[in-house]
Amino acid sequence: TTLAVQEATGSVLSDKYAEGHPGRRWYRGCEAVDRAEQLAIDRAKALFGAEHANVQPHSGTTANIAVYLAVLKAEDTIMGMDLAHGGHLSHGLEVNYSGIHHNVVSYTVSKDTETIDMDAVRDLALKARPRLIIAGASAYPRIIDFDAFARVAEEVGAYLMSDIAHIAGLVAGGVHPSPVPGSPFVTTTTHKTLRGPRGAIILCKKEYARQIDAAVFPGLQGGPFMHEILAKAIALGEAA
C-alpha cells in the first residue's frame, strides 16, 4: 500500500456521508465525492476491461453476497469450492449467509494432483444444476481455468461469478488469465495484490448493472466509505 492510498484512507472523507450513487445521492454537497467515486468506477472498468463496476462494497464477502442478492432467490443452489480444499466461507459455508439462505454443493481438488478437476466440476454441475457457479478460491496457489468454468456454466444454464480477491493484481498485470470476458460477475477485494485500501469491487456485464448497484445500496449497505473509495481510485490508477 502506497503513502497516497494511506493518506486518502486517513483523510477527512472518512466523515463524509453519501448514501446513493454518483449523481443520485440522498444528501446534498456530494459533488466532490461523486467525482472521486466516478473516477474509481472508470479506472476499475479500464483496468479489467469490464462493462460496469461498483466500488462501494466494504469487503469481499459483502461483494459476493451482493451478487447472490442480485440474481438469486432463497434456496437456489450455488456451487463453489469446498472450504477445506481452498474455498472461502462466502462460497457456501453452512454458517455463512451463502450457506444459510441457499442450497450448496461444493467441488474439491483432486487427491492426486491437488488441482481443480474440471471434468469432476462439470459432472457435479450436470448433476446438481446450480443456479450460480463460483470460480475462485481463498487458498489455491494454482492458475484457475476461468474459460473452462464459463463453458460449464453455459452448459448447465448457470450464472458464473469469479472471485479473484487473491489474484486481482496478477490479473491486472496480465500474468494470470482474466475471468472478465466470460464471467457475468467478478468480485475482488482491493487490499491484497491490488495494494489498495480495505474494501472490494464488483465487475459485471452492463445488463446486470442496475441489479448489482441496487443489491449493494440499498440492499446491503447504507452510506459508502468515501475515504476508502478515493483510496480505491488511487490504487486502481497505480495498478494501471
- CA dihedral (55, 45, 151, 81) in degrees, to 10, reads -30
Indicate which residue of 9, 62, 189, 193 is catalytic: 189
Indicate which residue of 122, 151, 192, 195 is catalytic: 192
What is the C-alpha to C-alpha distance for residues 203 and 124, in angstroms, rounded to an integer? 26
194-206: buried (b, 16+ CB within 10 Å) or exposed (e) per residue?
A: bebbbbbbbbbee
Indicate which residue of 122, 151, 195, 198 is catalytic: 198
Cross-strand bridge partners of residue 104: 78
Give 167-207 as a DSSP string. Answer: THHHHHTTSS--STTT-SEEEEESSSTT---S-EEEEE-GG
Question: Is 198 labeled as catalytic in the residue annotation?
Answer: yes
Question: Is 189 labeled as catalytic in the residue annotation?
Answer: yes
What is the C-alpha to C-alpha distance for residues 62 and 218, in angstroms, rounded to an integer? 13
Indicate which residue of 19, 51, 76, 117 is catalytic: 19
Question: Is 19 labeled as catalytic in the residue annotation?
Answer: yes
- How far is CA 104 from each of CA 96, 101, 133, rounded to the nearest angstrom? 11, 9, 10
Question: Is 188 labeled as catalytic in the residue annotation?
Answer: no
DSSP, res 32: H
Indicate which residue of 163, 187, 193, 213 is catalytic: 163
Consecutive H or E run containing 64? helix 60-71
Cell matching residue 108: 474439491
Active-site residue numbers? 17, 19, 163, 189, 192, 198
